[in-house]
Amino acid sequence: MFQVDKSTYKLADGHEMPMMGFGTYKLDNPDLMNKTIATAYESGYRMFDTAQYYRNEKMLGDAIRNVANRDDVFIIDKVTEMNQGHDLTINSTDFSLQQLGTDYVDLLLVHWPVAEHFFETWHALEELKKQGKAKSIGVSNFTQSQLELLKTQADEMPVVNQIETHPYLTQQPMIAFDKKMSIVTQAWSPLGRGAVLDNPMLAKMAKHHGKTPAQIILRWDIQRGISIIPKSQTPERIKENTELDFELSDDEMSMLNVMNKFQRTGNEPELVYELGKQY
């Protein structure tokens, strides 16, 4: 049975990672961060996702210290595009750790693939892992071809690939590829930034289970074997999103799988790779 504070995936490097985490994008003032993280921790969340690009690492570190011991939480951070390249990756990660107020992150990701610094950035992550500054290393927004390219020079492969996936962008081939490579797929924006929630079929399914459309989507993800990073600032929603102790039938899973429209809320990874920036 799914329990937000206990259910984990075993990563290829042997570390355990919670199935479900809490996203902090756009939590950009200390009071809001403190209240939201306190609510999330009380609701059972033990994994918290930030990024250099979010500019809220210090706020998150402070908020976590208010409610938990470092060993009780799993922190994800990401190296932004402007900080890629060997030396910049090392130096910016040191600064991120200083901001977070910790000696290590549990998972360090390359936020978006950038062609110019592709291999040296990854080698920097490998070094940071050897130094104990990251327990596990992975990527975000990488495609199959980019992972295949990385494999040609990587000493070790990513254990996580955090991508955009939701019922309008099911990413089934990507998830299957990650699994084949022993990479756990993690969903950012699992609710499609709200775009999916008004779907009539989803509403009908939610009514049948006595759940919300968001809970149906998050349960679908868990049954697909992927990790999820929902975010909310509403206390009721934060708690509600963890209540996934029900089962979708094979037919329901199939119905959700065919909702795919190839509809993104974020950028196309290949475009970011070429341009070297996501914005």
Among the four given CATH numbers 2.40.40.20, 3.90.550.10, 3.40.50.300, 3.20.20.100, the one describing domain 8-275: 3.20.20.100
Mean pLDDT, rounded, for 79-108: 98
Name the pLDDT band for 279 (thresholds 50, 70, 90). low
Question: Any known ligand binding at 111?
Answer: yes
Nearest residue to 19 (alpha-carbon basis) of 260, 246, 230: 230
pLDDT at residue 113 in the model: 96
- CA gap 104, 217 in Å, rounded: 32
Look at residue 278 in the predicted model and tell me its pLDDT: 73
| pLDDT for position 132 | 99
Return the pLDDT at 63: 99
Q: Are 156 and 135 in contact (CB under 8 A)?
A: no
Check pLDDT > 80 for residue 193. Answer: no
Question: Is residue 14 a contact partner of residue 159, using CB atoms and an 8 Å limit?
Answer: no
pLDDT in tens, 244-266: 999 999 999 999 999 999 888 76
pLDDT mean over 113-130: 98
**Does 222 have pLDDT greater than 90?**
yes
pTM of the predicted model as reported, rounded to 2 decimal places: 0.96
Nearest to 106 by CA among 135, 127, 132, 133: 135
Of the chain, the end-to-end C-alpha distance in Å amounts to: 40
Compute the average pLDDT of residues 118-139.
99
Half-sphere exposure of 198 (CA within 13 A, CB side): 3
Q: What average pLDDT does this structure show over 122-134? A: 99
Q: Please list the active-site residues.
A: 54
Q: What is the mean pLDDT of residues 38-54?
A: 98
What mean pLDDT value characterizes the chain?
96
Answer whether residue 38 shows pLDDT above 90: yes
